[in-house]
Amino acid sequence: MLLTLTLSLIIGLLLGMLGGGGSILAVPMLVYLLHIEAKTAITTSFVVIGLSSLLALIPHARRHSVCWKSGVFFGLSGMVGAFAGGRWAAFFSPDLLMTLFGLISLSTGLLMLRGARPEAPGKTMKACPTRVPYFRVLFDGFFVGGLTGMVGVGGGFLIVPALTLLVGLPMQGAVGTSLLIIVMNALAGLGGYSQHVDLDLPLIVEVATGTLVGSGIGAVISGYIKPASLRRGFGLMVVAVGLYVLSQAFTAELLADAMTWLRGAHSETWAIATLMLGLILAGIGRWIHKSDTTFLNTEHTADGH
Protein backbone atom coordinates (compact mmCIF):
# COMPACT_ATOMS: atom_id res chain seq x y z
CA MET A 1 0.00 0.00 0.00
CA LEU A 2 2.86 2.40 0.82
CA LEU A 3 4.39 1.83 -2.62
CA THR A 4 1.05 2.52 -4.32
CA LEU A 5 0.52 5.74 -2.36
CA THR A 6 4.06 6.98 -3.04
CA LEU A 7 3.85 6.35 -6.77
CA SER A 8 0.36 7.87 -6.90
CA LEU A 9 1.66 11.01 -5.20
CA ILE A 10 4.41 11.35 -7.83
CA ILE A 11 1.86 10.88 -10.62
CA GLY A 12 -0.33 13.59 -9.12
CA LEU A 13 2.61 16.00 -8.84
CA LEU A 14 3.47 15.53 -12.52
CA LEU A 15 -0.15 15.94 -13.54
CA GLY A 16 -0.51 19.21 -11.65
CA MET A 17 2.80 20.65 -12.87
CA LEU A 18 2.70 19.55 -16.51
CA GLY A 19 -1.01 19.43 -17.28
CA GLY A 20 -0.60 15.79 -18.23
CA GLY A 21 1.69 12.84 -17.81
CA GLY A 22 -0.29 11.33 -14.96
CA SER A 23 -1.95 8.60 -16.98
CA ILE A 24 1.17 7.83 -18.95
CA LEU A 25 2.75 6.81 -15.64
CA ALA A 26 -0.37 5.47 -13.95
CA VAL A 27 -1.06 2.73 -16.50
CA PRO A 28 2.51 1.31 -16.52
CA MET A 29 2.63 1.58 -12.73
CA LEU A 30 -0.54 -0.45 -12.31
CA VAL A 31 0.39 -3.01 -14.97
CA TYR A 32 4.11 -3.59 -14.36
CA LEU A 33 4.62 -2.74 -10.68
CA LEU A 34 1.28 -3.72 -9.13
CA HIS A 35 0.53 -6.47 -11.70
CA ILE A 36 -2.99 -5.24 -12.47
CA GLU A 37 -4.61 -6.52 -15.68
CA ALA A 38 -4.15 -3.94 -18.46
CA LYS A 39 -7.81 -3.10 -19.10
CA THR A 40 -8.57 -2.83 -15.37
CA ALA A 41 -5.57 -0.51 -15.06
CA ILE A 42 -6.90 1.61 -17.91
CA THR A 43 -10.35 2.06 -16.34
CA THR A 44 -8.75 2.88 -12.98
CA SER A 45 -6.59 5.46 -14.72
CA PHE A 46 -9.62 7.15 -16.27
CA VAL A 47 -11.32 7.61 -12.89
CA VAL A 48 -8.27 8.66 -10.88
CA ILE A 49 -6.73 10.99 -13.46
CA GLY A 50 -10.08 12.60 -14.21
CA LEU A 51 -10.62 13.47 -10.54
CA SER A 52 -7.02 14.64 -10.06
CA SER A 53 -7.18 16.85 -13.15
CA LEU A 54 -10.36 18.48 -11.86
CA LEU A 55 -8.59 19.40 -8.62
CA ALA A 56 -5.43 20.64 -10.38
CA LEU A 57 -7.53 22.78 -12.75
CA ILE A 58 -8.54 25.19 -9.98
CA PRO A 59 -5.13 26.93 -9.39
CA HIS A 60 -4.56 27.23 -13.15
CA ALA A 61 -7.98 28.83 -13.62
CA ARG A 62 -7.20 31.35 -10.87
CA ARG A 63 -4.01 32.33 -12.76
CA HIS A 64 -6.09 32.79 -15.97
CA SER A 65 -4.01 30.15 -17.79
CA VAL A 66 -7.00 28.04 -18.90
CA CYS A 67 -8.11 28.79 -22.48
CA TRP A 68 -11.77 27.99 -22.07
CA LYS A 69 -12.82 28.43 -25.72
CA SER A 70 -10.11 26.16 -27.10
CA GLY A 71 -10.54 23.73 -24.23
CA VAL A 72 -14.29 23.28 -24.51
CA PHE A 73 -14.30 22.75 -28.28
CA PHE A 74 -11.23 20.48 -28.18
CA GLY A 75 -12.72 18.60 -25.24
CA LEU A 76 -16.18 18.09 -26.74
CA SER A 77 -14.69 16.74 -29.95
CA GLY A 78 -12.25 14.67 -27.90
CA MET A 79 -15.06 13.14 -25.84
CA VAL A 80 -16.61 11.74 -29.01
CA GLY A 81 -13.25 10.35 -30.08
CA ALA A 82 -12.46 8.99 -26.61
CA PHE A 83 -15.76 7.15 -26.34
CA ALA A 84 -15.25 5.62 -29.79
CA GLY A 85 -11.66 4.70 -28.89
CA GLY A 86 -12.76 3.08 -25.64
CA ARG A 87 -15.27 0.90 -27.47
CA TRP A 88 -12.79 0.08 -30.26
CA ALA A 89 -10.26 -1.10 -27.66
CA ALA A 90 -12.45 -4.16 -26.98
CA PHE A 91 -11.13 -5.68 -30.24
CA PHE A 92 -7.44 -5.48 -29.24
CA SER A 93 -5.37 -7.61 -26.87
CA PRO A 94 -3.86 -6.02 -23.73
CA ASP A 95 -0.31 -6.50 -25.09
CA LEU A 96 -1.20 -4.75 -28.32
CA LEU A 97 -2.78 -1.85 -26.43
CA MET A 98 0.37 -1.42 -24.32
CA THR A 99 2.56 -1.54 -27.45
CA LEU A 100 0.42 1.16 -29.03
CA PHE A 101 0.70 3.11 -25.77
CA GLY A 102 4.50 2.92 -25.94
CA LEU A 103 4.72 3.94 -29.61
CA ILE A 104 2.46 6.95 -29.09
CA SER A 105 4.42 7.98 -26.00
CA LEU A 106 7.78 7.78 -27.75
CA SER A 107 6.71 9.71 -30.86
CA THR A 108 4.94 12.39 -28.81
CA GLY A 109 7.94 12.97 -26.55
CA LEU A 110 10.28 13.33 -29.53
CA LEU A 111 7.90 15.84 -31.14
CA MET A 112 7.86 17.89 -27.94
CA LEU A 113 11.67 17.98 -27.78
CA ARG A 114 12.02 18.73 -31.48
CA GLY A 115 9.39 21.46 -31.38
CA ALA A 116 10.93 23.25 -28.40
CA ARG A 117 12.30 26.68 -29.25
CA PRO A 118 14.18 29.09 -27.01
CA GLU A 119 12.17 32.06 -25.83
CA ALA A 120 13.13 35.44 -27.27
CA PRO A 121 14.34 37.79 -24.51
CA GLY A 122 11.85 40.44 -23.51
CA LYS A 123 8.98 38.81 -25.43
CA THR A 124 6.05 36.96 -23.93
CA MET A 125 2.89 35.49 -25.38
CA LYS A 126 -0.53 35.72 -23.89
CA ALA A 127 -1.53 32.47 -22.21
CA CYS A 128 -4.68 32.36 -24.35
CA PRO A 129 -5.02 33.94 -27.84
CA THR A 130 -8.24 35.88 -28.31
CA ARG A 131 -9.17 34.04 -31.52
CA VAL A 132 -9.57 30.27 -31.88
CA PRO A 133 -9.02 28.16 -35.08
CA TYR A 134 -12.19 26.14 -34.51
CA PHE A 135 -11.88 23.63 -37.38
CA ARG A 136 -8.33 22.75 -36.35
CA VAL A 137 -9.31 22.46 -32.68
CA LEU A 138 -12.26 20.18 -33.48
CA PHE A 139 -10.25 17.87 -35.76
CA ASP A 140 -7.26 17.60 -33.41
CA GLY A 141 -9.59 17.03 -30.46
CA PHE A 142 -11.35 14.10 -32.13
CA PHE A 143 -8.06 12.53 -33.27
CA VAL A 144 -6.33 12.87 -29.90
CA GLY A 145 -9.47 11.75 -28.06
CA GLY A 146 -9.67 8.58 -30.14
CA LEU A 147 -6.07 7.64 -29.38
CA THR A 148 -6.32 8.39 -25.68
CA GLY A 149 -9.62 6.52 -25.43
CA MET A 150 -7.94 3.40 -26.83
CA VAL A 151 -4.81 3.41 -24.66
CA GLY A 152 -6.51 4.52 -21.46
CA VAL A 153 -5.18 7.95 -20.64
CA GLY A 154 -6.86 11.25 -19.91
CA GLY A 155 -4.72 12.54 -22.74
CA GLY A 156 -2.42 15.20 -21.29
CA PHE A 157 0.69 13.66 -22.80
CA LEU A 158 -0.91 14.08 -26.24
CA ILE A 159 -3.12 17.10 -25.56
CA VAL A 160 -0.30 19.40 -24.40
CA PRO A 161 1.79 18.75 -27.56
CA ALA A 162 -1.34 19.09 -29.73
CA LEU A 163 -2.24 22.42 -28.16
CA THR A 164 1.30 23.79 -28.50
CA LEU A 165 2.46 22.28 -31.80
CA LEU A 166 -0.86 22.19 -33.68
CA VAL A 167 -3.29 24.68 -32.14
CA GLY A 168 -0.56 27.24 -31.31
CA LEU A 169 -1.07 27.85 -27.58
CA PRO A 170 1.94 28.83 -25.43
CA MET A 171 3.07 26.25 -22.87
CA GLN A 172 1.42 27.87 -19.85
CA GLY A 173 -1.94 28.09 -21.62
CA ALA A 174 -1.60 24.53 -22.94
CA VAL A 175 -0.91 23.11 -19.46
CA GLY A 176 -3.96 24.71 -17.87
CA THR A 177 -6.26 23.99 -20.82
CA SER A 178 -5.07 20.39 -20.96
CA LEU A 179 -6.44 19.72 -17.48
CA LEU A 180 -9.93 20.79 -18.56
CA ILE A 181 -9.76 18.55 -21.62
CA ILE A 182 -8.42 15.59 -19.61
CA VAL A 183 -11.48 15.66 -17.35
CA MET A 184 -13.78 15.57 -20.37
CA ASN A 185 -11.83 12.85 -22.21
CA ALA A 186 -11.47 10.69 -19.11
CA LEU A 187 -15.23 10.77 -18.54
CA ALA A 188 -15.94 9.77 -22.14
CA GLY A 189 -13.24 7.09 -22.25
CA LEU A 190 -14.54 5.60 -19.01
CA GLY A 191 -18.01 5.44 -20.57
CA GLY A 192 -16.62 3.42 -23.46
CA TYR A 193 -14.58 1.02 -21.30
CA SER A 194 -17.32 0.52 -18.71
CA GLN A 195 -19.30 -1.38 -21.35
CA HIS A 196 -16.86 -4.30 -21.20
CA VAL A 197 -14.64 -3.84 -18.08
CA ASP A 198 -15.66 -3.74 -14.38
CA LEU A 199 -14.32 -1.09 -11.99
CA ASP A 200 -12.07 -2.08 -9.06
CA LEU A 201 -13.33 0.38 -6.43
CA PRO A 202 -10.79 -0.43 -3.63
CA LEU A 203 -7.92 0.06 -6.08
CA ILE A 204 -9.42 3.33 -7.33
CA VAL A 205 -9.72 4.73 -3.80
CA GLU A 206 -6.12 3.76 -2.94
CA VAL A 207 -4.59 5.31 -6.05
CA ALA A 208 -6.84 8.39 -5.97
CA THR A 209 -5.72 9.26 -2.43
CA GLY A 210 -2.14 9.89 -3.55
CA THR A 211 -2.87 11.49 -6.90
CA LEU A 212 -5.40 13.99 -5.55
CA VAL A 213 -2.94 15.29 -2.96
CA GLY A 214 -0.07 15.37 -5.46
CA SER A 215 -2.03 17.12 -8.21
CA GLY A 216 -3.04 19.97 -5.90
CA ILE A 217 0.57 20.54 -4.84
CA GLY A 218 1.89 20.23 -8.41
CA ALA A 219 -0.57 22.79 -9.77
CA VAL A 220 0.72 25.38 -7.28
CA ILE A 221 4.38 24.58 -8.04
CA SER A 222 3.86 24.93 -11.81
CA GLY A 223 3.38 28.69 -11.45
CA TYR A 224 7.05 29.07 -10.47
CA ILE A 225 8.63 27.03 -13.29
CA LYS A 226 9.67 28.48 -16.68
CA PRO A 227 7.54 27.26 -19.63
CA ALA A 228 10.64 26.11 -21.58
CA SER A 229 11.73 23.95 -18.66
CA LEU A 230 8.24 22.50 -18.34
CA ARG A 231 8.20 21.58 -22.02
CA ARG A 232 11.67 20.02 -22.00
CA GLY A 233 10.98 18.02 -18.86
CA PHE A 234 7.64 16.85 -20.24
CA GLY A 235 9.23 15.65 -23.48
CA LEU A 236 12.04 13.76 -21.75
CA MET A 237 9.64 12.06 -19.34
CA VAL A 238 7.34 10.89 -22.12
CA VAL A 239 10.24 9.51 -24.20
CA ALA A 240 11.55 7.56 -21.20
CA VAL A 241 8.15 6.07 -20.40
CA GLY A 242 7.57 5.13 -24.04
CA LEU A 243 10.88 3.27 -24.25
CA TYR A 244 10.18 1.40 -21.01
CA VAL A 245 6.66 0.36 -22.02
CA LEU A 246 7.87 -0.87 -25.42
CA SER A 247 10.63 -2.90 -23.76
CA GLN A 248 8.00 -4.65 -21.62
CA ALA A 249 5.14 -5.07 -24.10
CA PHE A 250 6.89 -5.81 -27.40
CA THR A 251 7.54 -9.54 -27.02
CA ALA A 252 7.88 -12.61 -29.22
CA GLU A 253 4.41 -13.69 -28.09
CA LEU A 254 2.95 -10.42 -29.35
CA LEU A 255 4.59 -10.94 -32.75
CA ALA A 256 3.22 -14.50 -32.91
CA ASP A 257 -0.29 -13.24 -32.13
CA ALA A 258 0.05 -10.58 -34.84
CA MET A 259 1.11 -13.18 -37.42
CA THR A 260 -1.84 -15.39 -36.48
CA TRP A 261 -4.20 -12.47 -36.90
CA LEU A 262 -2.71 -11.57 -40.29
CA ARG A 263 -3.45 -15.10 -41.52
CA GLY A 264 -7.12 -14.70 -40.60
CA ALA A 265 -9.78 -14.81 -43.29
CA HIS A 266 -10.86 -11.18 -42.95
CA SER A 267 -7.61 -9.60 -41.86
CA GLU A 268 -6.64 -8.38 -45.33
CA THR A 269 -9.96 -6.61 -45.90
CA TRP A 270 -9.84 -5.09 -42.41
CA ALA A 271 -6.25 -3.88 -42.91
CA ILE A 272 -7.06 -2.26 -46.28
CA ALA A 273 -10.13 -0.53 -44.84
CA THR A 274 -8.10 0.75 -41.87
CA LEU A 275 -5.36 2.05 -44.18
CA MET A 276 -7.88 3.83 -46.40
CA LEU A 277 -9.56 5.43 -43.38
CA GLY A 278 -6.17 6.57 -42.09
CA LEU A 279 -5.25 8.14 -45.43
CA ILE A 280 -8.59 9.94 -45.63
CA LEU A 281 -8.22 11.33 -42.10
CA ALA A 282 -4.61 12.37 -42.82
CA GLY A 283 -5.74 14.22 -45.95
CA ILE A 284 -8.52 16.02 -44.11
CA GLY A 285 -6.19 16.94 -41.27
CA ARG A 286 -3.53 18.28 -43.63
CA TRP A 287 -6.08 20.46 -45.44
CA ILE A 288 -7.48 21.84 -42.17
CA HIS A 289 -4.05 22.62 -40.74
CA LYS A 290 -2.86 24.23 -43.96
CA SER A 291 -5.93 26.45 -44.19
CA ASP A 292 -5.50 27.58 -40.57
CA THR A 293 -1.79 28.46 -40.86
CA THR A 294 -2.55 31.97 -42.12
CA PHE A 295 -5.13 32.36 -39.36
CA LEU A 296 -2.61 31.62 -36.60
CA ASN A 297 0.11 33.77 -38.17
CA THR A 298 -2.33 36.66 -38.28
CA GLU A 299 -3.16 36.13 -34.60
CA HIS A 300 0.50 36.14 -33.56
CA THR A 301 1.24 39.23 -35.67
CA ALA A 302 -1.67 41.06 -34.06
CA ASP A 303 -0.22 40.27 -30.64
CA GLY A 304 3.11 41.74 -31.68
CA HIS A 305 5.12 38.50 -31.88
Summarised one tens digit per residue, pLDDT across range 7-34 is: 888 888 877 777 666 666 777 788 888 8
What is the pLDDT, as a whole number, of residue 70? 86
How far apart are alpha carbons 140 and 81 in whole angstroms? 10
List of the chain residues with pLDDT < 50: 118-123, 265, 296, 299-301, 303-305
Where do the DSSP E strands lie in 97-155? none
pLDDT digits (tens, 9 = 90+) for 193-215: 777 777 788 888 888 888 888 88
CB atoms within 10 A of CB 103: 16
How far apart are alpha carbons 94 and 87 in whole angstroms? 14
What is the pLDDT, as a whole number, of residue 268? 58
What H or E segment, with its residue span, contains residue 254? helix 252-262
What H or E segment, with its residue span, contains residue 172? helix 171-193
How far apart are alpha carbons 12 and 248 in whole angstroms? 24
What is the pLDDT, as a whole number, of residue 63? 84
What is the pLDDT, as a whole number, of residue 121? 46
206 by Cβ neighbours in 10 Å (0-12 / 13-18 / 19+) ranks as: middle
